[in-house]
C-alpha cells in the first residue's frame, strides 16, 4: 500500500501521505495525464460551506506533480522534481462536491518544467481554481 494508487505501477500515480490523508485519488487517465480527484469532506472545509483554499491548492499541486511525472515517464526520462513556486488564482468558491484537477506540462526542459493546472467540480468549463507551477529538474541520482 506504500503510496501506490490503483493497479498500474506508474510513477505518476504514487501519492504522498498528505494526499492520501486528504482523500485525494486518481480518478482516471486522460490522454496519458492523470486526473486527480478529492471528495468534499470536513477536513477540506474552509469558510462555512466551502473548500479551504489550501486544500484546493494542495490538490492542484498533486495534480501538477502527477502531470509532470507522467510526461517525464512517457519520454522515458526519470528526473527528480522539486517545486520552485506556485501561483494560484481562485476563480469560484469550491462547494460541497467532488473536485477534479488536471495538469498540463507547457514545457519540460533539462532543468526547469512549467506546468499549468486547473481544478473544477460539476462543470469543467467553470474552474474553481487555476495555477501555474514551476519545477526544478535534476537527474534522478543526483546528490
Partner 1 sequence: MTDKQPSAPMNFQLPDGTQFDPVAGARMMNSHGHTGFLGIEYVGHGEDWFELALPWREDLVGIEETGVLASGPIISLLDNATSMSVWAKKRMFVPQVTLDLRIDYVRAAVPGKTVIARAECYQIRSSMAFVRGIAHDGDITDPVAHAAGIFMLVGDGEWSAK
- 126, HSE (Cβ side, Cα atoms, 13 Å): 7
Pick the closer one to partner 1 by CB: 31 or 85: 85
| Minimum gap (Å) between residue 141 Cβ and partner 1 | 14
Closest CA to 64 of 6, 142, 131: 131
- What does the alpha-carbon distance between residue 101 and residue 116 come to, in Å, rounded to a whole number? 10
- 20, HSE (Cβ side, Cα atoms, 13 Å): 11
Pick the closer one to partner 1 by CB: 32 or 112: 112
| Minimum gap (Å) between residue 31 Cβ and partner 1 | 25
Is residue 108 classed exposed, middle or buried when 0-12, 13-18 and 19+ CB atoms within 10 A define those classes? Answer: buried
Pick the closer one to partner 1 by CB: 32 or 70: 70
| Minimum gap (Å) between residue 29 Cβ and partner 1 | 22
User: Quick check: 99 and 121 in contact, CB under 8 A?
Assistant: yes
Q: For residue 16, give the C-alpha cell.
A: 504522498
What residue ranges bind partner 1 (CB under 8 A)? 2-3, 16-22, 42-55, 57-59, 61-62, 82-90, 93, 95
| Minimum gap (Å) between residue 111 Cβ and partner 1 | 16
Pick the closer one to partner 1 by CB: 17 or 31: 17
| Minimum gap (Å) between residue 37 Cβ and partner 1 | 15
Pick the closer one to partner 1 by CB: 105 or 128: 128
Rg (CA), the chain: 15
Amino acid at each position: 500500500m506504500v503510496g501506490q494508487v490503483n493497479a498500474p505501477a506508474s510513477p505518476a500515480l504514487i501519492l504522498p501521505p498528505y494526499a492520501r490523508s486528504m482523500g485525494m485519488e486518481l480518478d482516471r487517465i486522460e490522454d496519458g495525464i492523470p486526473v486527480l480527484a478529492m471528495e468534499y469532506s470536513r477536513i477540506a472545509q474552509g469558510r462555512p460551506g466551502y473548500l479551504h483554499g489550501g486544500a484546493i491548492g494542495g490538490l492542484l499541486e498533486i495534480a501538477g506533480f502527477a502531470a509532470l511525472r507522467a510526461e517525464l515517464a512517457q519520454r522515458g526520462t526519470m528526473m527528480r522534481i522539486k517545486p520552485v513556486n506556485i501561483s494560484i488564482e481562485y476563480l469560484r468558491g469550491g462547494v460541497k462536491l467532488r473536485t477534479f484537477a488536471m495538469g498540463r506540462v507547457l514545457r519540460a526542459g533539462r532543468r526547469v518544467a512549467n506546468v499549468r493546472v486547473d481544478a473544477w467540480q460539476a462543470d469543467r468549463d467553470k474552474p474553481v481554481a487555476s495555477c501555474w507551477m514551476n519545477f526544478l529538474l535534476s537527474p534522478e541520482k543526483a546528490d
